[in-house]
A = this chain, B = another copy of it.
Amino acid sequence: MTTNIIMKFCFIVCFLLVFVELSSSKWIKPRRLNIINHSTNRIRDDRCRQFRIFIQKVDHFGFLNMDTYQQRYTLNTDYWESGRPIFFYAGNEGDIDLFCENTGFMWDIAPIFNAMVVFAEHRYYGTSLPYGNASYSNPEYTRYLTSGQALADYAYLLDYIRGSIKGAEQSPVVVFGGSYGGMLAAYFRMKYPHVVVGAHAASAPILQMTTPCELFSRIVTQDFRLESSQCVDIVRSSWDAINRIGSNPTGLERLTNLFKLCRPLKTVDELKDWLLDMYGNIAMVDYPYPTSFLADLPAFPARAFCANVTSSSLETENDDEDIVRRIVKGTNVFFNYTGHTECFDTGSQGSPSLGDLGWSYQSCTEFVMPMCSDGVNDMFEKQSWDFQAFSDACYAQWKIRPRFEWPYIEFGGKNITDFRYYSNIAFTNGNLDPWSSGGLVTTVTPSLPAIYITGGAHHLDLRAANPADPPSVLQARQQIVALIEKWIS
Contact = CB atoms under 8 A, between A and B. Distances in A.
Given A418-B194, A421-B193, A401 B140 contact: no
Given A155-B410, A410-B152, A410-B155, A401 B193 contact: no
Contact of A194 (B60, B156, B412): B412
Contact of A401 (B62, B66, B143, B403): B66
Nearest to A159: B409
A232 B244 CA distance: 95
Contact of A422 (B63, B193, B411, B412): B193
B421 A143 contact: no
Interface string A166-198: 000000000000000000000000010111010
A156 B410 CA distance: 9
Contacts of A155: 409-410
Given A64-B140, A400-B64, A409 B146 contact: no
A195 B400 CA distance: 27
A322 to B, nearest CB: 48
A399 B146 CA distance: 25
22 contacts: A57-B403, A61-B61, A61-B62, A62-B143, A62-B144, A63-B366, A63-B400, A63-B403, A64-B139, A64-B140, A64-B143, A64-B400, A152-B409, A155-B409, A156-B409, A159-B414, A193-B412, A193-B421, A193-B422, A194-B411, A194-B418, A194-B419
Nearest to A423: B421
A251 interface: no
Contacts of A194: 411-413, 418-419, 421-422
A159 B365 CA distance: 19
Contacts of A364: 63
A148 B143 CA distance: 17
A149 interface: yes
Interface in A388-421: 399-403, 405-406, 409-414, 418-419, 421
A31 B423 CA distance: 37
B149 A61 contact: yes
Contacts of A412: 193-195
Interface in A18-46: none
A366 to B, nearest CB: 8
Contact of A63 (B57, B140, B191, B401): B401
Interface of A: 57, 60-64, 66, 139-140, 142-144, 146, 148-149, 152, 155-156, 159, 191, 193-195, 197, 364-366, 399-403, 405-406, 409-414, 418-419, 421-424
The 6 closest A-B pairs by CB, nearest first: A194-B412, A193-B421, A194-B418, A61-B61, A63-B400, A64-B143
A410 B163 CA distance: 16
A150 to B, nearest CB: 12
A63 B365 contact: yes
Nearest to A419: B194
A12 to B, nearest CB: 27
Nearest to A193: B421
B146 A62 contact: yes
A60 B62 CA distance: 11
Contacts of A410: 60, 152, 155
A61 B400 CA distance: 13
A426 B461 CA distance: 40
A57 B149 CA distance: 18
Contacts of A422: 193-194
A1 B195 CA distance: 52
A61, A194, A402, A413 — most chain B CB neighbours (10 Å): A194
A64 B62 CA distance: 14
A69 to B, nearest CB: 16
A136 to B, nearest CB: 13
A412 B63 CA distance: 19
